[in-house]
Structures are given as C-alpha cells and as structure tokens.
Amino acid sequence: MKALIVYDSVFGNTEKVAQAMAAAIGEAQAVKIDALDPLALEGVELLLVGSPTRAFRPTPAITGWIKGLPAGKLNGVRVAGFDTRISVEDTGSAILRFLVKLFGWAAKPISDGLAKAGGQVAAPPEGFLVTGSEGPLKDGELERAAAWAQQIAGGA
C-alpha cells in the first residue's frame, strides 16, 4: 500500500508526529507541504494530512493545498486529517474552551477538505497534544500517533 503523510509544521511538533506515523506504517513517506512534489499523489492509497492548529485552523499552506485539489482528485484514496494542539484542560482557560467550541481545531477542516476532494475518510480527525504553544509534545503522543496511523493503515 502506498501511503503519504503531508504536513506543515511551525515549531517541529507536527513534523515529529508525521515522521512517527510514517515509521509506524512502514512504506509511508512524510513530506512537508513546501517540499511536496505535485506528482506525489499518484498511486497513493492512504493520505494523512496534518497541521499545527493556528488560530483554530490549519496553516495557510495546508489550507491552500487542500482547496487547490481538484474535485475527485482523491477518489478511491483513504484519507484522514490530524493536528497538533494545546490541551484546553491544561490551560484551565474558560475563554479558550469557549473559542474551541466555537471554532474547533485544525484537523476537522483538513478532513472535510480531503473528503470534498473525493477522499474516503478512514478515521475521524485526530489531535496530538503539545505542552505549550510551542511544544514540546506531551509524553506518549508520538506513540499514540504511531498507533493511530497503524490502525488506519491496517484497515485498508
């Protein structure tokens, strides 16, 4: 199975998650969005796309790439979206909790955009936790990301 993990990263946390996923799947490649070859999607059977959550959204690079996918481009491709985010519980902020309820996290619009391009959503959007706005990742998150990717890849 040809698997591709496309990601953007600001502080390196989402990159670490993408690399852990690629290693867990085995024959997957993790590619940062600004280094993505337009032909990379050819023959892909599983596409995972991730971004840090920035102002409750994916990065502009990920959003623009997804919006630029032609309708039907991902027909027959199993897809899933993921993000890195801070835990609302860790902040204790009622304001952040309200804003998250209102605007959400980056993974959902990623997943929705991939589905709009014809992708078959293989798993609900998932978030991996960082300890602060710049990270690092919380303990156990790389292992959780690897297990999430393996579970999706195993469902092919």
User: Does residue 81 surpass a pLDDT of 80?
Assistant: yes
Reported as a single tens digit per residue, the pLDDT across 115-152 is 999 999 999 999 999 998 899 999 999 999 999 999 99
What are the C-alpha distances in Å from 101 to residues 21, 56, 65, 94, 96? 28, 10, 26, 11, 9
Domain positions in the chain: 3-154
Instruction: Give the model's pLDDT for residue 156.
Output: 53
**Mean per-residue pLDDT of the chain:** 95
82 closest CA partner among 137, 21, 153 = 21
The Cα–Cα gap between 27 and 8 comes to 20
Q: 3-154 maps to which CATH number? A: 3.40.50.360
| Bond preceding residue 136 cis, omega within 30 of 0 | yes
Instruction: Give the model's pLDDT for residue 116.
Output: 95
